Structure 1
Amino acid sequence: MTEHTLTTEPAAGRPARAPVRSGLALAIILICQLMLILDATVMNVAIPRIQADLGFSPTGVSWVMTSYSLVFGGLLLLGGRAGDLFGRRRMFVVGTAVFTLASLAGGLAGSAELLIAARVAQGIGAAMAGPSTLALITTTFTEAKARMRALSLFSAMASGGFAIGLLLGGLLTEWISWRSALFINVPFGLAIVLLAPRFVPDPPRRRAHLDLPGAIAGTLGVSGLVFAFTRGGSAGWGDPVTLASLGTGAVLLAGFLVLQARGSQPLIPLRLFAERNRAAAYANFFLGPMAMMSMFFFLTQFLQDIQHFAALQTGFAFLPMAAMVFALSRSIPRLLPRFGPKPLAVTGTVLMIAGAGWLTQLTPSSGYFETLFGPMILMGVGVGLAFSPMNVLVMASVPTEDAGAAGGVLQTMQQVGAALGLSILMTVSGSVTRSAAGSGVRGPQLMVDGMTAAFLGASLLAGLSFLVALTFRRHHTTA
């Protein structure tokens, strides 16, 4: 079967087989993407049990989520360039294999250090496979409507996967153990490794180099900032290590930008930001996860530590949000051509601001349906409208030769935004908690004060996303 038969346009004389193989190729790619996104949040619900089993400190346990997102996001650009150099399908398969082995190691981890090491290895595998998912969709589906449908499904996985991870994590943690949330990746990863070489087409390679200095500067720069914000939440901003990490991270990121501006084959081609709508889409894909991750992390703590929900109940508590994200994502092929990105992004970000703002009213006695169900619906609809079109907007118009870089930048924005946003809002929460404790506040109210401060911060981040949404052009997308 030649490569062109894998597109949505059937080969002459064989109309029935091409769509089936195109559908199978898409299923393989989407399952991989969902698996990579799930692991950003699937451990959230299990945090209390992981902390008890492996002896994490209260601040250290956040690295179970942050280490994965940070390494995933930090190395995505390098993974995209490696796909151009070594072949996108090859990197897709090798990255999935690394991710699968790391998941097995994480499930077997007997200490906090081993679990964090496994999560870092998962991030490396995800960074190898992640950029190729979008690039393979773009090169497999060449017809405009079919590409938009495929990218919309991808958006549903990318946006809704965070919430689905919480639901799946709750199910597995309650019914089996937190380790099963890692073990479940193994059969799916093996299936992808075996099936992808047969059914996913391999686009032509192009000449490229890896730009290791840029990758090292960018990854260490972001890591320095995340570490500084995470440590600042516990040690304070006068701590020398915090200040040194913050300064080093800022210098490295400045160096990264200089390398990208001067390099002949940069990891981030600046031409990707030349088109206004694409640049705004990238900015929103950075800001949106910064606000979203606080909701997942802090609401999980609220439900389990304050309301005493079981892991399974906590997972199902996020079901309304996940359902809204998926419902809106499936509507993007109809909504985006009709209205264009600006009305969708503006409406979605306003709903996100309202949802995060509503959560600032939490008290220790707040019930789920009285105080949490409404914000879940608002956030789900908001995320579905504001961010599901972003994948389509970026990838539907990008030249084929830039597909790997464009996909890598898009997912880098998402993962780095999630890691940086969580570290910033944990700092906000920790600062308010210390101040409240100094004023004599104790017990559940102390925790809730920190959480509501984080939600206020999330609403401000969503407000920045709203301002970016105003910059979209009014005309309809041509995808």
Structure 2
Amino acid sequence: MVSDQSIPGAKASRVLLTLLCLAQFMLILDVAVVAVAVPSMQSQLDISAANIQWVSTAYGLAFGGFLVAAGRAADLFGPKRILLAGLAIFTIASGLCGLAPNEVVLFAARALQGFGAALVSPAALTLVTTSFGEGEERNKALGLWGAVSSGGAIAGQLLGGVLADVAGWRSIFLINVPIGIIVIIAVARQVRKDPDRATGRIDMAGAGLLTAGVVLLVTAVSQAADHGVSPAVLVSGALGVAMLVGFVVQEGRIDNPVVRLSMFRNPNVRYGNMICMLTAGGATVSVFLSTLYMQQVIGLSPMMAGIGFAPVTVLILGVSMKMGPLVAKFGARGLLLVSAVLFAVGSVLLSFVTVDGSYWTQVFPGLAIGGVGAALSFAPSMILCTTGVPDEEQGLASGLLGTSQQIGAALFLAILSGVAAAAAAGAGGDTPEALTEGFRAGFLWSLAIPVLIAVCVLAVPKQEPKTAEPLAADEEAGQSV
């Protein structure tokens, strides 16, 4: 990707950033919007407790599994082409979700939705990173991008609750259809035409191995939590590991891999992606378990549970909008350490939920503090992942960080929702008391996430690569965050 993709002029850049953030908001919203409506879907389509997580996981895995290939496609074929294709697929799949007659169709449509989102996200982020130079301008742009990402995740709870109560759970998908059409028209008109370029082949074998490996591993983790370590679980886990080993071998032996393994010589890319995976996982688990606690234990309706996220959304957006100045003053590493501490405090507070608890005393404090932690983490982690990466590799870098976020969300949701389900089963099943024990266990085990975040942050060097050479090069230099 080269810098001539940028739209010249400050006004045009603002228009471009606003439009791309709108597309990203729609994708992130759809990750979270289903959580509040899960009980309604489960009841109407008669989905089992073991399978209901696939409403979120199918989307997250398809999104995360194809992001890297989509990012590489944006580098090779142009981000506008990939962006429009992704928006069209996402919009069609949203309509299929809203019309799904059973769980099989719903899960398949959610996976197709995730594939469309995988095409959109790295193409949009590539346009952002190549339209603003490294440093203060890019940090401000990524701060707004982070605000949209974190705000969209929480706003999804509010919108999902309202729509599920007023118009039914199908409306949370069908509303994407007119919005998607509007965004497609705006992108076609406002985003500059892709420049002519030489194209290459996408390593679809590598992309397939990566996606299959992650799907099999998450399946093994979730089924082990629900049913114990059975032969099927062992086979699924072993096949997942084999697929990922095959992916690494595949990427090392071909000339045009979907992931350039040498990219991970850049410590910012290496540790930044690990931090993206962990922070996305922590935020997703907190929101998911809190939503279920509010509805299944303290008896809030989907609408009231969704409205409960409104003050948290406002708080997160307020913090996220200040990320540019905060990064300039404290640095990405400092903000990420503070984020880890706030994540931990929020998880501890949420672990004190009780059967007779209330939203304001036992849910809001933990969600608010953890939400601020999320707001402080998104932009700095994205800055790490894209610092020192040349323009022609920004699509790949964008796909990698998006993959890390989506796989982290899906993987930690599978693990910790399984922990909560196992703890609830051990405490007596589906009574409010047993469910509360499960949620406590899930929140407590999530404390491992901020600990790992802190370890990764401390491993990030204070000086970062600033080379503009392709990432296949061995040379590394230093540049401050």
TM over 0.5: same fold? Answer: yes
Q: Partner residue of 2:54? A: 63
Given that 1:8 and 1:142 are in contact with CA atoms closer than 8 Å, whether structure 2 keeps it comes out as no
Offset, 1:140? 2.7
Which deviates more from structure 2 when the two are superposed, residues 243-252 or residues 422-431?
422-431
- Residue from 218, 221, 240 that aligns with 2:213: 221
Percent identical pairs in the alignment equals 34
Q: Partner residue of 2:201? A: 209
Question: For residues 180-219 of structure 1, what are the structure 2 equivalents within 5 Å?
Answer: 180-204=171-195, 205-219=197-211
Change (3 A) 1:93 1:70: same
Q: Distance in 2 between matches of 1:71 and 1:39?
A: 13
Q: Does residue 1:150 correspond to 2:138, yes or no?
A: no
- Residue from 360, 364, 367 that aligns with 2:358: 367
| TM-score computed with the length of structure 1 as normaliser | 0.92
Offset, 1:82? 1.9
**SS at 2:356's partner residue?**
coil
Aligned residues: CA RMSD: 2.1
Change (3 A) 1:101 1:199: same
Q: Does residue 1:272 correspond to 2:263, yes or no?
A: yes
Q: Partner residue of 1:112? A: 103
Offset, 1:471? 2.0
Offset, 1:149? 2.1
Offset, 1:302? 0.5
The superposition leaves residues 418-445 of structure 1 with CA deviations (integer Å, 9 ceiling, x where unpaired) of 00111111221222223223xxx77211
- Residue from 423, 428, 444 that aligns with 2:432: 444
Q: Distance in 2 between matches of 1:229 and 1:41?
A: 21
Q: Distance in 1 between matches of 2:76 and 2:137?
A: 27
Question: For residues 10-25 of structure 1, what are the structure 2 equivalents within 5 Å?
Answer: 10=9, 19-25=10-16
Which deviates more from structure 2 when the two are superposed, residues 448-457 or residues 254-263?
254-263
Q: Partner residue of 1:14? A: none
Q: Distance in 1 between matches of 2:194 and 2:75?
A: 9
Q: Partner residue of 1:162? A: 153
Offset, 1:406? 0.3
Offset, 1:392? 2.6
The one-letter amino acid paired with 1:235 is H
Q: Does residue 1:469 correspond to 2:480, yes or no?
A: no
**SS at 2:91's partner residue?**
helix
The superposition leaves residues 222-250 of structure 1 with CA deviations (integer Å, 9 ceiling, x where unpaired) of 0001111121122211x111111111101
Q: How many residues align?
A: 465
Offset, 1:459? 1.2
Offset, 1:367? 1.6
| TM-score computed with the length of structure 2 as normaliser | 0.92
The superposition leaves residues 88-132 of structure 1 with CA deviations (integer Å, 9 ceiling, x where unpaired) of 110100110000011011111121121112111101111111210
- Residue from 277, 288, 292 that aligns with 1:301: 292
Q: Distance in 1 between matches of 2:406 and 2:238?
A: 22
**SS at 1:46's partner residue?**
helix
Question: For residues 2-13 of structure 1, what are the structure 2 equivalents within 5 Å?
Answer: 10=9
Q: Partner residue of 1:257? A: 248
Q: Distance in 1 between matches of 2:206 and 2:6?
A: 35
- Residue from 345, 367, 374 that aligns with 1:383: 374
- Residue from 442, 445, 460 that aligns with 1:457: 445
- Residue from 145, 159, 175 that aligns with 2:166: 175
Q: Distance in 1 between matches of 2:279 and 2:313?
A: 15
Q: Partner residue of 2:468? A: none
**SS at 2:33's partner residue?**
coil
Which deviates more from structure 2 when the two are superposed, residues 406-415 or residues 149-158?
149-158
Q: Distance in 2 between matches of 1:458 and 1:208?
A: 42
In the TM superposition, structure 1's runs of 4+ consecutive aligned residues that sit over 4 Å from their partners are: 3-9, 475-479
Given that 1:82 and 1:210 are in contact with CA atoms closer than 8 Å, whether structure 2 keeps it comes out as yes
Given that 1:340 and 1:474 are in contact with CA atoms closer than 8 Å, whether structure 2 keeps it comes out as no
The one-letter amino acid paired with 1:449 is E
Change (3 A) 1:271 1:332: farther
Which deviates more from structure 2 when the two are superposed, residues 458-467 or residues 255-264?
255-264
The one-letter amino acid paired with 2:26 is M
Given that 2:207 and 2:258 are in contact with CA atoms closer than 8 Å, whether structure 1 keeps it comes out as yes
Offset, 1:274? 2.2
Given that 2:31 and 2:59 are in contact with CA atoms closer than 8 Å, whether structure 1 keeps it comes out as yes
Q: Does residue 1:340 correspond to 2:340, yes or no?
A: no
Q: Partner residue of 2:89? A: 98
Q: Partner residue of 1:392? A: 383
Change (3 A) 1:230 1:6: closer
Given that 1:341 and 1:474 are in contact with CA atoms closer than 8 Å, whether structure 2 keeps it comes out as no
- Residue from 243, 265, 276 that aligns with 1:285: 276
Which deviates more from structure 2 when the two are superposed, residues 320-329 or residues 202-211?
202-211
Given that 1:84 and 1:206 are in contact with CA atoms closer than 8 Å, whether structure 2 keeps it comes out as no
Q: Distance in 1 between matches of 2:377 and 2:51?
A: 32
Q: Does residue 1:81 correspond to 2:69, yes or no?
A: no
Given that 2:350 and 2:367 are in contact with CA atoms closer than 8 Å, whether structure 1 keeps it comes out as no
Offset, 1:264? 2.2
Which deviates more from structure 2 when the two are superposed, residues 325-334 or residues 91-100?
325-334
Q: Partner residue of 2:472? A: none
The one-letter amino acid paired with 1:361 is F
Q: Partner residue of 1:15? A: none
Q: Does residue 1:417 correspond to 2:408, yes or no?
A: yes
Q: Distance in 1 between matches of 2:86 and 2:7?
A: 26
Q: Distance in 1 between matches of 2:430 and 2:8?
A: 64
Which deviates more from structure 2 when the two are superposed, residues 260-269 or residues 468-477?
468-477
Q: Does residue 1:318 correspond to 2:309, yes or no?
A: yes
Q: Distance in 1 between matches of 2:437 and 2:149?
A: 31
| Runs of at least 5 residues in structure 2 that lack an aligned partner in the other structure | 465-478
Which deviates more from structure 2 when the two are superposed, residues 197-206 or residues 397-406?
197-206
The one-letter amino acid paired with 1:36 is L
Offset, 1:211? 0.7
- Residue from 38, 46, 52 that aligns with 2:29: 38
Q: Distance in 2 between matches of 1:258 and 1:442?
A: 45
| Runs of at least 5 residues in structure 1 that lack an aligned partner in the other structure | 11-18
The one-letter amino acid paired with 2:331 is G
Q: Distance in 1 between matches of 2:343 and 2:454?
A: 9
Q: Does residue 1:231 correspond to 2:231, yes or no?
A: no
Offset, 1:160? 2.5
Q: Distance in 2 between matches of 1:280 and 1:5?
A: 29
